[in-house]
Amino acid sequence: MVCAIALAIGVKLGFFFLFAYKTQKDAPLPKNQPFDIVQKGEEKGDGRKRILVTGGCGFLGSHIVRQLKDRVGNKASLVVLDAAVHDKFGPLVPGVTYIKGDITTYTHVHSALANCDCVVHTAALVGDSTTPRSTFARVNEQGTKNIVEAALERDVRNMVYTSSASVVFSLANVRPGVTGGGSLAPILETEPARPEAELNGAYAKSKAAAERLVLAASSHALRVVVLRPGGVYGMADSGMTPQILAGQPWVGPGKVRVPFVWVEDAARAHVLAAEQLLWPQLGPDGSPAKRIHGRAYHITHDPVREPLLYHEFGGGVPTAIEDLAALGIADRSHPDVVKAEEQAGVHTTRNCAALRAARVSAYGCVANSSVPFPVVWFLARLNFWLGQRFGFVLVDARSTPENMIYASNHWPCDVRDARAVLGWEPTPFRVVAAALGEAGADADPKAAKRYKSLTVGGAEEKKTK
């Protein structure tokens, strides 16, 4: 296997090295993004509010738009500002105005915010091994600065900002290339973004800088709620879930606690925040019953009520009590979580022994295996070096050193404030995983061949269509 990998690397390096530099040098310079109304939706009028969603055609943003339309469409008009208006994550929502524009162009942002009462700013650059590091600051920092300045100028009173759980991941207790570091204890939502020197790469640094900016701007003139989602996953994500269902191995031993969140849950958190900013529950004196703005909330699966490990998310066998005990973690599965799991017909931490013995994952598929961490660490570093210098990669461009560090260290994020203040509740992971596994088998014949039911001990393979 090692020889095959080395041969593949050598061949690909030899082929691309001759052409990559010239290709990158001759690439056309990007042109200014036009401002164009692609779809005209409902007007504000009749006492209705107006909400702008930046990045509303992206994976998370498109879910936010659909949920907003379902929940508040009768009392709010919706506008989407996105650099690429497309239907990759579902058709454009009827009645919603879609504008093709760029958040890094101030005039685009200023125009899109006309007559708005709230902006849900989810547009961001996540990037990969080929993304120039300076681009993160231009999109994630300058773009956010444009949103804040235009909102203040347009007298937009409310803002929901999509930050990232990566802003509280610290490299202080991590050794690059070594697994199992980080923090076993859940990181509290009151923790500020880490200092720049402790942040893991350009994306996290840009998101932390943008978070500090919006929180500094939070005031009576602009009420800001910051949400920090973990890794957002779902059927149509950028490849994470489809790859898991297809049997792609996970990274390293997998005995670490990494924060993830189902896209429907992440979108619902944004909708709840926007609703409470625009239509707050009032106390006896007529003022809002509770203050939700001026702070950050973690939006991830609950590591306290539902402790599980990375290998289970990656499609390995379910987390067992023994796995948690080895890390000094007591099984504290909350009764509400256990009840939801039982109602959905999935397995709890206490009764997953048969699934583990049958090598069936929480997705109901044949359990995935792992790739030794030294191998993926080497490939990720090589991938990043090639991507930055020549614009091409050997493996998936998302295989970056930063992502390998995230996947191999502990950084669970506490969600008690999101639950208590926003009223948000994450769907138990195994409930989501079971639904995704079945949906994947229905949609993809290859995934169907790997699908097993979640009956204890495993069941017959799902018939392909």
Report which listed range, 124-133, 187-196, 335-344, 436-445, is most confident: 187-196
Q: What is the pLDDT of residues 339-394, one digit of tens each?
A: 998 888 887 777 788 888 889 999 999 999 999 999 999 999 999 999 999 998 98
Considering the domain boundaries, does residue 374 fall inside one?
A: yes
Q: Which of 60, 59, 58, 99 is nearest to 78 (CA)?
A: 99
Q: What is the pLDDT of residues 173-187, one digit of tens each?
A: 898 888 999 999 999
pLDDT at 300: 98
Sign of the CA dihedral running 57, 60, 63, 64: negative
Instruction: Please state, in angstroms and rounded to a whole number, the distance separating the CA atoms of residues 370 and 320.
Output: 17
Region 314-337: mean pLDDT is 86
Considering the domain boundaries, does residue 299 fall inside one?
A: yes
More confident residue, 150 or 356: 150
Considering the domain boundaries, does residue 24 fall inside one?
A: no
Which strand (E) or helix (H) includes residue 310? helix 310-313
Considering the domain boundaries, does residue 122 fall inside one?
A: yes
Instruction: Please state, in angstroms and rounded to a whole number, the distance separating the CA atoms of residues 135 and 202.
Output: 9
Q: What is the pLDDT of residues 265-284, one digit of tens each?
A: 999 999 999 999 999 987 77
pLDDT at 61: 98
Helix axes of 202-217 and 143-153: crossing angle, nearest 10 degrees:
10
Considering the domain boundaries, does residue 26 fall inside one?
A: no
Is 233 within 8 Å of 267 (Cβ atoms)?
no
Is 307 within 8 Å of 324 (Cβ atoms)?
yes
Is 164 within 8 Å of 228 (Cβ atoms)?
yes
**Tokens representing residue 312 in the block:** 């289970």
Which strand (E) or helix (H) includes residue 158? strand 158-162
Q: What is the pLDDT of residues 88-109, one digit of tens each?
A: 999 999 999 999 999 999 999 9
Residue 224: strand, helix, or coil: strand
Q: Would you tell me how many other CB atoms lie within 10 Å of the CB of residue 345?
A: 11
Determine which one of 98, 161, 203, 310 is catalytic: 203
Q: Is 161 labeled as catalytic in the residue annotation?
A: no
Is 80 within 8 Å of 53 (Cβ atoms)?
yes
Domain count, the chain: 1
Considering the domain boundaries, does residue 9 fall inside one?
A: no
Region 110-131: mean pLDDT is 97
Q: Which of 226, 237, 225, 289 is nearest to 262 (CA)?
A: 237
Q: Which of 325, 302, 324 is nearest to 311 (CA)?
A: 324
What lies within 8 Å, CB to CB, of 61 at 6+ separation is 53, 54, 55, 80, 82, 122, 123
Which strand (E) or helix (H) includes residue 272? helix 263-278
CA 163 to chain centre: 10
DSSP state of 154: T
pLDDT at 347: 74
Considering the domain boundaries, does residue 249 fall inside one?
A: yes
Considering the domain boundaries, does residue 345 fall inside one?
A: yes
Residue 167 domain boundaries: 38-450
Is 96 within 8 Å of 78 (Cβ atoms)?
yes
**Tokens representing residue 411 in the block:** 């950084």
Look over the chain and give the mean of its residue pLDDT values, rounded to a whole number: 88
pLDDT at 34: 81
pLDDT band at 454 (very low <50, low <70, confident <90, very high): low
CATH of the domain at 120: 3.40.50.720
